[in-house]
Structure 1
């Protein structure tokens, strides 16, 4: 049976009413696109309110102070605000934490370097500052046996140490000097301010060691700045980053201990064609350094949305030709700069290769985000983070003169070094010192060797196990548990590690914590039931973590 036919009559007035209703609906907030995520300023306001409302849950007392270190706002509006902490105006080692907030600014969760109270009975030391300085100077000399160190200067500062068990008042002493060649050496000594006992010590020069015509990357494009009739090797499009000549001089300034600083005389050129691809032209090394800075800047911005090393759009700078036969390159937070030695010619050439630049600048990213302590397992993760991103920068560049591979520093080593690279991420133990697999003593290794566990993880997660040729180099990803793995690719590795570093890791993160942080990152990016999440779990197991 056909249903009764209904007739609808729409008058002119009805048409006008309907049109008005449709227009109103189209203009209503519910019909428009979702509102924009909160701004950085909005995230800071939300976090400040949460610090007050959730103080008891977070262990924040009136004796403590907080200072923002980094802010990340996800596309969905979730906010992550990272803080440093003080106790009675003293910095707290291990006091850092990250607040995770919902889109509306409500509290979601927090990641803390340490849990529990960070209070100490007294902030008055029993060990004097001069005595702490003497102990640190002795420790620096002991760490450099056979060297007659000159101009040793120590600068102690009181801190609360919450990283090494129960919180205690401590002296954090930065100590620096010069070796027989005039090159810098530096360490941090952490000393119990009551007993004088050494708590920890670590190096503070974070090392990689270990159109211009570059030494290693062929002819590369450069953004420069014209000044009168000459050009400066300075890039206004990347925060004013520039490269200067250290004129083979060295710093009398390491960290906050200063008596002089090596120059960084900006390179200039008459025709805007830089270098000749050989060491005979001092600007050739400068081309490599500037190209490395440009490429690393672009990688972080285009892949991870990070605008500069500190995320604030400001550029760092480079110093090349530093020291005499200096076999090193390092990042220094205080000058916000990278420094490159020329090498001794038999073991190393100039240390300005692309993966070295990416490595050093990534130390700066780590310092502005997780702040991984440069000691123990967290120090290994700090070094591995720089190796991982230095390698990903090399792949990102897609430069035929320096194809991407999973070796570190292969361009800078000379026959006298005895190996084709500094480190090997597919099998870290090939360097004779690095760890392939986690064990309880890994944290006792030098951070360049304890990094092997995370480097191995990164390679296996991206490439999987088994032999393959990458960048013209034979690789062979082995596993510690005999598992066969299929990689998820370099891009996903980079996104997972970056989110883990910037959102979940803290200064005290160890290998177990890195597993948790990367799983949380994989869950955020791909889902808890995703193949990527399962691959992260399986790969950590393949290097004996978890």
Structure 2
């Protein structure tokens, strides 16, 4: 796909917010300033890591690679790093350096809880690790040479092989597995999929959002479905294939017909969802794109045939949407699904919550939370905000997941219990989804009554405690700050409680109130104490 700079289309942006997008020149100016600021912030943070070796659990065998930066309005900086030990990646070794506006170290936050002292000579050969991984999880190797790394998500760090395999699931979803094999004894320590799914599941004449205005790009002979004002986000038509595809083009800048009879209709939903999600993160959280670098991701619509899913992939930095089978699912291009998928990208560029166990549930919940916030932000009369996930795309059911009472889908957990991390991540996410609804709206909201959890090892809420919400804007600010400045790849539900409590205290001035007590009460209401 060409990366040439195109002239911006004449069609003006007019999404429901009414906020004008940055011009291309303004974007470049913001990015240039950000790059200089990032270099300075990362340099200071590296200095703190070296000066406080005991607190950063590092020594001369460690090195750190900068990944993300958050700068507060008062100039305080939160720099996120990935760790290497004797040149090897440390999974679970990431840390965040918090510096005050004058540059002084405030704190270090990390999951690693002990100094690494590991023999980096594997007893198990790479070929044997590959054999063990494929024997347990199937598929084909993405590379015959797995990556040797340090696995530090557990209490005792271990030398391990990261074996990557690819296969296609029964429903057509591609699978890009990480299979972590202990390099000393051959035990599979953990496995997860890098494909993050939605789990079933011009003038744009969309399927779900009515008629909307889009920013498109003018080219010779007409227009293409590309948005130069939002990092050149664009949409391609896969035409029911699983590879290839081409960017959608049109002669009169009117896209779709509000029905599936025009294949462009679903594309306009995807492009609109991308634009609204971009605007939400920029205007609410000050984030310029998924990776916070001003660059847009892209959409692939009409993927495969009768494909009942949508997914985010880091490898292509893109969202992929199926058309559904027409029996249980419609095309999966609704606003909340778009916001959900793009948020997987935000998570991967910040906390990078591993897609397994409780951290995987938090990863999925984060996408549900911000997919929901995108839906509210759009203020679209045809798809008004709610706390139901996928309600527009379901056939024969009212929703895919509910944040009000997650167990209403028959599989998700309302409450934390000792085995919740063993559930599929789309179902263990229910605990955080439930927490967010109670924190934002309270237990007795006009949007729905949300039961609370009682003592006992149960996944279904049966209590009726009464809590008031702090509002969805404040709740989202707290969750975003926790995600981007507190959580790490191995954060579990107890860690998420601590992260949101810290975030609430730090946002007191910004939000006009200290909501720490309400955050604590909401977590207790879902069984995380």
* Structure-2-length-normalised TM-score: 0.88
- Give the corresponding residue for 1:139: 136
Question: What is the deviation of 1:529?
Answer: 11
- 1: distance between equivalents of 2:171 and 2:381? 36
Contact 2:235 2:247 in 1 (8 A): yes
Counterparts in 2 of 1:281-320, with a 5 A limit? 281-320=262-301
Which of 177, 182, 186 is the aligned partner of 1:187? 177
- 2: distance between equivalents of 1:138 and 1:93? 23
Listed one character per residue, the Cα deviations across residues 53-75 of structure 1 (whole Å, up to 9, x for unaligned) are: 22233122111111001011111
Q: Which moved more, 1:530-539 or 1:236-245?
A: 530-539
Q: Which has the larger radius of gyration?
A: 1
Contact 2:439 2:471 in 1 (8 A): yes
Which of 419, 423, 439 is the aligned partner of 1:445? 423
- 1: distance between equivalents of 2:269 and 2:134? 36
Structure 1 residue 379 corresponds to structure 2 residue 360: yes
- 2: distance between equivalents of 1:54 and 1:316? 38
- 1: distance between equivalents of 2:169 and 2:441? 41
- Give the corresponding residue for 1:9: none
RMSD in angstroms over aligned alpha carbons? 1.9
| Unpaired runs of at least 5, structure 2 | 1-32, 455-463
- 2: distance between equivalents of 1:466 and 1:220? 34
Contact 2:507 2:514 in 1 (8 A): no
Contact 2:239 2:303 in 1 (8 A): yes
Contact 1:433 1:449 in 2 (8 A): yes
- 2: distance between equivalents of 1:399 and 1:217? 7
Higher relative contact order (CA 8 A, sep 6+): 2
- Give the corresponding residue for 2:398: 420
Question: What is the deviation of 1:78?
Answer: 0.9
Question: What is the deviation of 1:424?
Answer: 0.5
Q: 3-state SS of the aligned residue for 2:176?
A: strand
Which of 310, 316, 339 is the aligned partner of 1:358? 339
Contact 1:190 1:199 in 2 (8 A): yes
Question: What is the deviation of 1:51?
Answer: 2.2
- Give the corresponding residue for 2:457: none
- Give the corresponding residue for 1:71: 69
- 1: distance between equivalents of 2:133 and 2:183? 13
Counterparts in 2 of 1:81-100, with a 5 A limit? 81-100=79-98
- 1: distance between equivalents of 2:174 and 2:305? 11
- Give the corresponding residue for 1:226: 218
- 2: distance between equivalents of 1:501 and 1:239? 23
- 1: distance between equivalents of 2:258 and 2:287? 31
- Give the corresponding residue for 2:15: none
Question: What is the deviation of 1:281?
Answer: 1.1
Listed one character per residue, the Cα deviations across residues 493-542 of structure 1 (whole Å, up to 9, x for unaligned) are: 11000000001111111111111100111101116994522110110111
Which of 514, 524, 528 is the aligned partner of 1:541? 524
| Unpaired runs of at least 5, structure 1 | 1-35, 142-148, 251-261
Structure 1 residue 478 corresponds to structure 2 residue 460: no
Which of 247, 261, 268 is the aligned partner of 1:266? 247
CA change 1:485–1:202 in 2 (3 A) is same
Contact 2:234 2:297 in 1 (8 A): yes
- Give the corresponding residue for 2:441: 463
- 2: distance between equivalents of 1:106 and 1:488? 32
CA change 1:51–1:404 in 2 (3 A) is same
CA change 1:181–1:523 in 2 (3 A) is closer
Structure 1 residue 407 corresponds to structure 2 residue 388: yes
Structure 1 residue 498 corresponds to structure 2 residue 480: yes
Listed one character per residue, the Cα deviations across residues 332-368 of structure 1 (whole Å, up to 9, x for unaligned) are: 1121111111111111111111100000000000000
Contact 1:93 1:163 in 2 (8 A): yes
* Structure-1-length-normalised TM-score: 0.85
- 1: distance between equivalents of 2:170 and 2:151? 34
Counterparts in 2 of 1:342-353, with a 5 A limit? 342-353=323-334
Q: 3-state SS of the aligned residue for 2:266?
A: helix
Q: 3-state SS of the aligned residue for 2:283?
A: helix
- Give the corresponding residue for 2:99: 101
Contact 1:87 1:119 in 2 (8 A): no
Contact 1:243 1:264 in 2 (8 A): no
Question: What is the deviation of 1:103?
Answer: 1.3
Listed one character per residue, the Cα deviations across residues 444-500 of structure 1 (whole Å, up to 9, x for unaligned) are: 1111011000000000011101252x3xxxx22111144201111110011000000
- 1: distance between equivalents of 2:417 and 2:223? 53
- 2: distance between equivalents of 1:196 and 1:91? 19
- 1: distance between equivalents of 2:433 and 2:524? 14
Listed one character per residue, the Cα deviations across residues 155-206 of structure 1 (whole Å, up to 9, x for unaligned) are: 5211100112211111111211124675423322111111111111122211
Question: What is the deviation of 1:154?
Answer: 5.7
- 1: distance between equivalents of 2:518 and 2:245? 45
Q: Which moved more, 1:50-59 or 1:368-377?
A: 50-59
The number of equivalent residue pairs is 483
Structure 1 residue 173 corresponds to structure 2 residue 173: no
- 2: distance between equivalents of 1:326 and 1:449? 21
Contact 1:59 1:117 in 2 (8 A): yes
